[in-house]
Amino acid sequence: MKSCKEKAAEWGISSRSVNDMCKKGKVAGAVKENGTWRIPDDAAKPADKRISTGKYVKKSGGKGLKALPIGISDYVRAQSEYYYVDKTLLIKEFLDQKPLVSLFTRPRRFGKTLNMDMLRVFFEISDEDTSKYFKNQAIWQCGEEYRSHQGKYPVIFLTFKDVKFDTWQETIDKIRGLLQEEFGRHQELLNSDKLSEYDKENFLKILNGTANEVELTSALERLSKMLAVHYGKAPIIIIDEYDTPIQEGYSKDFYDEIIGFMRNFFSGAFKDNRNLSYGFLTGILRIAQESIFSGLNNLTVNSVMDEAYDSFFGFTGNEVKAMLEYYGMSAKEKELKEWYDGYLFGNEEIYNPWSVINYISKDGIPQAYWVNTGKNEILEDVLEIATDDITERLYALLQGEPVIARIDQNVVYRSIAEDPANIYSLLLVAGYLKTPRKDLQADGSYLCEVSIPNREIAAVYKNEILSHLLQIGAITRTTANKIAESLYANDYKKLQAAISEYMDKSISFYDGGAGGFYHGLMLGLIALMDNQYKIKSNRESGDGRYDISLIPRENRYPGIILELKWKNGLSADSLDTFADEALTQIDNMRYDSEMKQEGINDILKFGIAFSGKKVRVKTK
């Protein structure tokens, strides 16, 4: 006999629908026992003469296709109701290695929470037979030595992914609530004759929400001890997105408070805890320098640089290919690859799973889906502290060029201000860079060739750069809109006026005498016009090297050449003459040769002269 929930999974409908069918006598042989319906194993699904809802049906008419798991981090639901990419061999790899405490660091929205919930369902002792959620998955075919671990451990599970508050008080209140909820999942301990009244009193403090901050720091240690005594088996502790509240503390000025709390919280759970079978943590950063895991010499870190577990977070090429075939979108493979592939975890090429799922759900419309799933504080911080060297490298990255950088996986958020060179390490682990080449150094760091993974992340950079330029006043929204509108309408005169306005505003802001102004100017152009133009600088054409060239991606746009000249202490008249000289130089040196060879004959030319914050723009 099976429960309504089991039959619901078998028939592909909700438990409520099965319960309703039993009530109405539509399920042959169904009987009610202790208030719940029991259904014969071989009972057939009755025809309920209603249209089934909640199914994903492609607009092209493909009926019966499974829904796409947008935002689904519940394993049971994901594998039964949605298209599920089988990652259960993560369990096999873990059981083969048997590390005591494992930390998985990956960018946001790469399946960390879903994988941790999968581990919880697999290992956790339950009144329900949860093996049915794995019998159709790869792990079940691996043999009895792996199946024997299924449903055999008490599990403590916390996810900090939603601990995002402006103050320390709000943050600790949320953590108190999460602990209260998790203790509530283990209320069987209150009736245990193996536990002391003292233990139960401490348990009730957490359950009632009356525990103070000190008592909260030891909550995991106490709960693991009680579970071990009650079940005769040490529990597994899973902490998902452990560094989310730490990132919030960094950006909201309660960093010291959250670091102090987490150090004691994790120490009790994972350091010298004899009541621990295994521990799992996920996050974006290691945060080792803050001594959160001080003395935890049994911690195994699995980062984007490591080969272990490299295929279990995000989608592999074969997994994406199978998904596209299932939804009848194989023709979109090339476009999807350009937009969402390119990550390198260990030796595995990985697609962004969140973006792939959203792309397919939108019938193949390429957009920067990932950018809307969280804040990009790291990029914001990079732009705020960008040195001339960093700005120059950002420009190179946006042009599709690799740059060389030292990657230290132990960096923390606040290390950006201490050493701006750390930004490349943070950008890598957060998902904004990939490492086509890497060489391990004697000190444990890597010397890497880094680049932007794909078109989606390039779009994120451009969006953040434009937002930054607008925020600091290097460009106005009006000017940005003028450029966008003139490009859309293919209005040469308006485009010419808009670029002149942009040059005037940005050069005046950056000050031509400042070393970083040139690359700041280029970053702005890329953010504003890169969809329509390939932007080059200091390249040979004709009889010399032009300063800036904007080569149109489509024939309907004009080519653009900008020649810049600078000299201190010029008068207004001299500046005007200087701009004319720059404009004449474009023709005399035949800087338009490169474009003409590509069949581009409509070319806008700009001669730009500046002296300090004064600027003149001449056009042709």
Sorting pLDDT into bands at 50, 70 and 90, what band is 495?
Answer: confident
Could you tell me how far CA 485 lies from the centroid of its own chain? 32
pLDDT at 1: 76
pLDDT at 373: 66
Task: Look at phi and psi of residue 44 and say left if phi exceeds 0, alpha if psi is from -120 to 50, else beta.
Answer: beta
pLDDT at 52: 32
Name, in order, each residue with C-beta under 8 angstroms of 221's C-beta and a sequence gap of 6 or more: 268, 269, 273, 275
Per cent of the chain over pLDDT 70 is 90
Q: 195 or 541, which is more confident?
A: 195
Cα→Cα distances 262→84, 300, 554, Å: 34, 18, 54
Q: Which range among 14-23, 196-205, 271-280, 417-426 shows the weakest confidence by mean pLDDT?
A: 14-23
Q: 272 or 75, which is more confident?
A: 75
Give a three-class secondary structure readout of 268-287.
HHHCCCCCCCEEEEEECCCC
Q: Which range among 114-118, 524-528, 585-589 shows the weakest confidence by mean pLDDT?
A: 524-528
Give a three-class secondary structure readout of 69-108.
CCCCCCHHHHHHHECCCCCCHHHHHHHHHCCCEEEEECCC
- Sheet-wide strand order for 236-240: 155-159, 236-240, 278-283, 101-105, 299-302
Look-up: residue for tokens 């909700």? 14
Cα→Cα distances 105→264, 285, 566, Å: 21, 6, 47
pLDDT at 547 over 90: no
Cα→Cα distances 402→399, 428, 437, 449, Å: 9, 13, 10, 6
pLDDT at 48 over 60: no
Sorting pLDDT into bands at 50, 70 and 90, what band is 496?
Answer: confident
Are 454 and 342 spatial neighbours (Cβ–Cβ below 8 Å)? yes
pLDDT at 345 over 90: yes
Per cent of the chain over pLDDT 90 is 52
Are 274 and 235 spatial neighbours (Cβ–Cβ below 8 Å)? no
* Interatomic CA distance for residues 320 and 330, integer angstroms: 10
Name, in order, each residue with C-beta under 8 angstroms of 189's C-beta and a sequence gap of 6 or more: 195, 199, 200, 203, 226, 227, 230
Cβ-in-10-Å burial (0-12, 13-18, 19+) of 321 comes to: middle
pLDDT at 61: 36
Sorting pLDDT into bands at 50, 70 and 90, what band is 53?
Answer: very low
pLDDT at 376: 67
Q: 151 or 464, which is more confident?
A: 151
Cβ-in-10-Å burial (0-12, 13-18, 19+) of 335 comes to: middle
Q: Which range among 49-63, 102-116, 163-177 shows the weakest confidence by mean pLDDT?
A: 49-63
Classify 446 as helix, strand or coil. strand
pLDDT at 62 over 70: no
Mean predicted confidence (pLDDT) in 526-548: 84
Are 178 and 245 spatial neighbours (Cβ–Cβ below 8 Å)? no
Name, in order, each residue with C-beta under 8 angstroms of 296's C-beta and a sequence gap of 6 or more: 101, 266, 267, 270, 271
Name, in order, each residue with C-beta under 8 angstroms of 557's C-beta and a sequence gap of 6 or more: 487, 490, 532, 533
Strands 278-283 and 236-240: parallel
| H helix or E strand, kind and range, residue 584 | helix 572-588
* Interatomic CA distance for residues 232 and 187, integer angstroms: 17
pLDDT at 237 over 90: yes
Classify 328 as helix, strand or coil. coil
Q: 111 or 251, which is more confident?
A: 111
Q: What is the CA radius of gyration of the chain?
A: 30
* Interatomic CA distance for residues 133 and 9, integer angstroms: 9
Classify 95 as helix, strand or coil. helix
Sorting pLDDT into bands at 50, 70 and 90, what band is 288?
Answer: low
Cα→Cα distances 263→212, 246, 313, 314, 548, Å: 17, 11, 27, 29, 51
Mean predicted confidence (pLDDT) in 442-456: 91
pLDDT at 240: 96
Classify 514 as helix, strand or coil. coil
Residue 72 amino acid letter: I
Sorting pLDDT into bands at 50, 70 and 90, what band is 516?
Answer: low
Q: Which range among 259-268, 391-400, 502-511 shows the weakest confidence by mean pLDDT?
A: 502-511
Are 223 and 186 spatial neighbours (Cβ–Cβ below 8 Å)? yes
pLDDT at 580: 92
Are 453 and 463 spatial neighbours (Cβ–Cβ below 8 Å)? no
Mean predicted confidence (pLDDT) in 441-459: 91
Q: Which of 35-39, 57-61, 157-161 has the highest mean pLDDT?
A: 157-161
pLDDT at 512: 52
Sorting pLDDT into bands at 50, 70 and 90, what band is 352?
Answer: very high
pLDDT at 542: 75
pLDDT at 57: 31
Mean predicted confidence (pLDDT) in 211-231: 96
pLDDT digits (tens, 9 = 90+) for 451-474: 999 999 999 888 888 888 888 787
- Residue 522, both tokens: 């280029």
Mean predicted confidence (pLDDT) in 264-277: 90
Compute the mean pLDDT over every residue in the chain, rounded to the nearest whole number.
87
Q: pTM, whole model, 2 decimals?
A: 0.80
- Residue 345, both tokens: 């975890």
Q: Which range among 27-36, 490-499, 534-543 shows the weakest confidence by mean pLDDT?
A: 27-36
Sorting pLDDT into bands at 50, 70 and 90, what band is 55?
Answer: very low
Mean predicted confidence (pLDDT) in 591-607: 91
* Interatomic CA distance for residues 6 and 395, integer angstroms: 56
Are 583 and 542 spatial neighbours (Cβ–Cβ below 8 Å)? no
pLDDT at 49: 38
Sorting pLDDT into bands at 50, 70 and 90, what band is 541?
Answer: confident
| Residue 382: closest CA among 476, 467, 447, 287 | 467
pLDDT at 25 over 80: no
pLDDT at 54 over 50: no
Sorting pLDDT into bands at 50, 70 and 90, what band is 374?
Answer: low
Could you tell me how far CA 238 lies from the centroid of its own chain? 20
Neighbours of 542 (CB within 10 A): 16
Mean predicted confidence (pLDDT) in 67-91: 95
- Residue 127, both tokens: 């009144």
pLDDT at 297: 67
Q: Where are the beta strands (DSSP E) in 553-613?
A: 559-566, 603-611
